[in-house]
């Protein structure tokens, strides 16, 4: 079995556990007033788990596969040196740095830097477009989370807000 199918199988197992939690254990502790609500805290996890199960089953069963060619293009360990592992490792390191810098430099700056540097690592070289898209995306996500969802995210660095 190809590597992509093994990964899909592992994701399927994780998603089945997640779905079980979302459907059977998350709603048990809800207060009675919330049980009458049309949308529960478990609504999004239920939809997410069902979608992830369907997608992983599609990969596992080969539904998304095109007709077989001579070179299937499957990810295999034998061709591991042909892939851009350096980019993947740098992107993973950038994700860790993003998580560590969220509080010290604030959401807006950390998200802007993550998006800007991530697009640079992936090969984009139009700096004006990269900066514009990163700034708009960071600002929009912060506004949605802060204003629409009502979850406070510190937009500025700690030293600017007295922390």
Contacts of 44 (CB under 8 A, 6+ apart): none
Domain limits at 143?
A: 85-159
**Is residue 98 domain-shared with residue 143, that is, in the same domain?**
yes
Same domain membership, residue 15 and residue 57: yes
Do 70 and 89 lie in a common domain? no
Annotate 120-133 with b (16+ C-beta within 10 A) or e (fewer): ebeeeeeeeebeeb
Distance CA 19, CA 43 (A): 11
Do 109 and 77 sit in the same domain of this protein? no
Mean pLDDT over residues 83-100, rounded? 91
Do residues 103 and 154 both lie within one domain? Answer: yes
Counted domains in the chain: 2
pLDDT surpassing 90 at residue 93: yes
Q: Please tell me the predicted confidence (pLDDT) of residue 27.
A: 76
Over range 96-107, report the average pLDDT.
91
What is the model's pTM? Answer: 0.54
Q: In this predicted structure, what is the pLDDT of residue 90? A: 94
* Residue 73: band (very low, low, confident or very high) from pLDDT cuts 50, 70, 90: low
pLDDT in tens, 33-68: 777 777 777 788 899 999 999 999 998 888 876 655
Q: What is the pLDDT of residues 118-163, one digit of tens each?
A: 999 999 999 999 999 999 999 999 998 888 878 887 787 766 666 5
Boundary residue ending a domain (48, 81, 114):
81
Structure tokens that stand for 39 in this block: 């949308």
Final residue in a domain of this structure, among 81, 101, 117: 81
């Amino acid at each position: 079995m190809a590597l992509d199918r093994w990964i899909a199988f592992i994701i399927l197992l994780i998603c089945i556990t997640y779905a079980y939690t979302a459907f059977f254990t998350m709603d048990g502790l809800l207060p009675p007033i919330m049980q009458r609500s049309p949308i529960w805290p478990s609504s999004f996890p239920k939809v997410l788990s069902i979608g992830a199960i369907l997608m992983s089953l599609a990969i596992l069963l080969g539904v998304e596969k095109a007709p077989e060619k001579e070179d299937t293009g499957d990810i295999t360990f034998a061709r591991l040196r042909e892939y851009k592992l350096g980019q993947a490792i740098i992107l993973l390191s950038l994700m860790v740095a993003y998580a560590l810098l969220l509080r010290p430099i604030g959401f807006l700056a950390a998200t802007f830097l993550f998006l800007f540097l991530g697009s640079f690592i992936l090969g984009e070289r139009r700096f004006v477009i990269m900066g514009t898209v990163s700034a708009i995306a960071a600002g929009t996500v912060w506004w949605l989370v802060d204003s629409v969802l009502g979850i406070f995210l510190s937009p500025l660095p700690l030293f600017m807000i007295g922390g």
